[in-house]
């Protein structure tokens, strides 16, 4: 019985932005814990490559893929129709897909900042709402939102990105309180700099890299697998009394003083 608290056997998980970086690491972690996986990302080729890679590692488990843009509402509805076609509802939803353009606040066009909101925030809100009937087919289920330390403090990410992540953290708290009676736990993780393709550009600047390291007590950049481990924990039966939480995966960054 105790061992089952640390497994996800027989559960179905949907992960957005699953073809690379943190999303792919979360997908791998959930598979490793026994879940069957539904992967969504925009890039068809990258998604297929990721599926092939994971299928080689986990040949006994179901892995489905759908190329879709979570920023588009028609695509969001298509994602949930696709999930429903698999039957048995949904046990886990990971809202990981996100994007950013770093600008001075006065330099964003309206299309740019609205696009960031659509991808980072509105997609998570809508997918969670659309998934609610599927999640509540089970006695217990969970949502994990991938937020950011930029939703808690200023990190030069640009105002819209920080705004969307702060709102995502608040969405996590609100849905956790509202949906607890439905058996749906809702939590979030908030990464600091993680070694992904997206962060490779800024971190390639030696001076900037040293600034980041100087503000990180653990004196290193995080790995996608470290975010994935925290996200996966929040999905486990072992976390059955945890909801409305936002776990920073940041090497101590948010706790750093002078």
Active site residues: 161
Nearest-angstrom CA–CA distance, 58 and 40 = 18
Nearest-angstrom CA–CA distance, 94 and 116 = 18
Residue 186 vs residues 4, 73, 121, 125, 158: alpha-carbon distances, Å: 21, 22, 15, 12, 26
Q: Is residue 145 helix, strand or coil?
A: strand
DSSP 14: E
Whether 61 and 36 have beta carbons less than 8 Å apart is answered as yes
* Contacts of residue 13, Cβ cutoff 8 Å, sequence gap at least 6: 27, 30, 35, 36, 37, 38, 90, 91, 92, 93, 94, 235
Structure tokens at 19: 């073809």
Residue 154 vs residues 45, 138, 170, 244: alpha-carbon distances, Å: 35, 39, 17, 22
């Amino acid at each position: 019985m105790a061992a089952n608290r640390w497994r996800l056997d027989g559960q179905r998980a949907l992960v957005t932005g699953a073809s690379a970086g943190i999303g792919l690491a979360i997908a791998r972690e959930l598979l490793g814990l026994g879940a069957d996986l539904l992967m969504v990302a925009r890039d068809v080729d990258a998604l297929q490559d990721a599926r092939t890679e994971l299928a080689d590692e986990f040949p006994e488990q179901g892995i489905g893929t759908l190329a879709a843009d979570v920023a588009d509402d028609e695509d969001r509805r298509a994602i949930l129709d696709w999930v429903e076609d698999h039957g048995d509802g949904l046990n886990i939803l990971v809202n990981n897909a996100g994007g950013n353009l770093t600008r001075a606040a006065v330099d964003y066009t309206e299309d740019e900042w609205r696009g960031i909101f659509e991808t980072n925030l509105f997609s998570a809100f809508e997918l969670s709402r659309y998934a609610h009937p599927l999640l509540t087919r089970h006695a217990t289920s969970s949502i994990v939102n991938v937020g950011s330390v930029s939703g808690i403090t200023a990190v030069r990410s640009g105002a819209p990105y920080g705004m969307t992540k702060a709102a995502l953290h608040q969405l996590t708290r609100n849905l956790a309180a509202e949906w607890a009676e439905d058996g749906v736990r809702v939590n979030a993780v908030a990464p600091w700099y993680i070694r992904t393709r997206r962060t490779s550009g800024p971190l390639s600047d030696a001076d900037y890299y040293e600034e980041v390291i100087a503000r990180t007590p653990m004196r290193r950049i995080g790995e996608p697998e470290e975010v994935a481990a925290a996200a996966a924990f929040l999905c486990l039966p072992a976390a059955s009394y945890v909801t409305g939480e936002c776990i920073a995966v940041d090497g101590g960054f948010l706790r750093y003083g002078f």
